[in-house]
A = this chain, B = another copy of it.
Amino acid sequence: MRNFTFRNPVRIIFGKGTIAKLGPEAARSGRRALLVYGRESIKKNGVYDKVALSLSESGVTVVEHPGVRPNPVLSHAREGVRKALDSACDIVIAAGGGSSIDEAKAIAAGAAYRGDLWDLFSGKAAVKEALPIFTVLTLPATGSEMNQGCVITNDETRQKFSTASPSLFPRVSILDPETTLTLPAAQTANGAVDALAHLSEGYFTTSDRDATVTDEVVHALARSVIAATERILSDPRDYGARASMMWSATLSLNGLQSLGYGGISFPSHAIEHSLSALYDIAHGAGLSVIMPAWFKYHLEHDGPERLEKFGKAVFGTGNAEGTIGALEEWFRRIGSPVRLSEAGVPASDIPRISGNAMGLIKLWGMDYDRAAVEDILGRAV
């Protein structure tokens, strides 16, 4: 087990009817909120009204910033920064999934930074401070509601990059599983794939084979994500399953899932970001294409040990190939693509994708050259 430091100060308010607690929590940090959200879904499912009522009752005024896209883009985040500054917002609130939360984080950081917002993602500058961030989660997937990271796509350069800072931990995140009862099957599946990717990136890239307690935690959460997904797909209004999925996805990227692993990397994410950036496909759908391909590459280069351990604990499989097969089969069963063609990406685009991916791979300091990326992508054909 390698040395680590861990601190996660996010206050989680979890359960039915908890959105009413947003106002009192937000009012401790500010009086004027930039409210960041996507399109119509939070108006249809009643979340918007509950958020607005709670803030208004607590005397917090709202400046609206709707229109966040599923892969949130820099230009829209820049608009948000301008609004926040022009209206002297002192807090930023996200209502939605990981996209709204990530854009809210970018805006919160950008409002406290004098330079260009992209500097904070391109590696030119670090996030040192941010406006206080609050979130109301409506789509379990990214874990952003309880971590210090965020991802933004530069819509000019087609780069999907990330940043991280302790100042990007939300002050409070409200997780009401009832907000997810109407989520379509495709979004449920995307969230499940993303959570499994978060659990597996550290597990499969660590060189430490003796962080056994973290291995156990990863297995536990992976089993929980899979079991919850299956219950939801058979009964979308199963509150217990929605609740289990919501908390499992949050725990899958709040830091606990990689403690003691030492230096890890995010190869499936690094390559998938290019699929999202170039084709605007859902992050989860991109991941279910890349993960099995990366696992095949991993098996060839790093051996069967981790795949065997993971598969035995999570799928009850007996060998590495069986684990990859079980994962592909499970992705298929929940309706998520496992080949580039199934995601609408032609194999002839592999050079274009690998070219794009090298940007993030270099920025993250990962040990993959372009041939390796093309090798992995080739396994997804």
Contacts and interface: CB of A to CB of B under 8 A. Distances in A.
Nearest to A3: B15
Contact of A240 (B11, B212, B244): B212
Contact of A12 (B6, B16, B219): B6
Interface stretch (A40-48, A222-230, A315-323, A331-339): A222-230
A221 interface: yes
A13 B5 contact: yes
A259 interface: yes
Q: How many copies does the complex hold?
A: 2
Chain A's interface size range is 35 or more
A98 interface: no
Contacts of A16: 3
Contact of A3 (B5, B8, B18, B211): B18
A64 interface: no
Interface in A210-224: 210-214, 216-217, 219-221, 223-224
Contacts of A210: 240, 243-244
Interface in A228-274: 228, 239-240, 243-244, 247-248, 251, 256, 259-260
Contact of A1 (B1, B9, B243): B243
A378 B93 CA distance: 56
Nearest to A177: B1
A86 to B, nearest CB: 33
B14 A6 contact: yes
A7 interface: yes
A259 B5 contact: no
A358 interface: no
A177 B177 CA distance: 39
A15 B259 CA distance: 11
A260 B224 CA distance: 14
Interface of A: 1-18, 177, 210-214, 216-217, 219-221, 223-224, 227-228, 239-240, 243-244, 247-248, 251, 256, 259-260
16 contacts: A1-B239, A3-B16, A7-B12, A8-B8, A9-B9, A210-B240, A210-B243, A213-B224, A213-B244, A213-B251, A214-B247, A216-B224, A217-B220, A217-B251, A219-B220, A251-B256
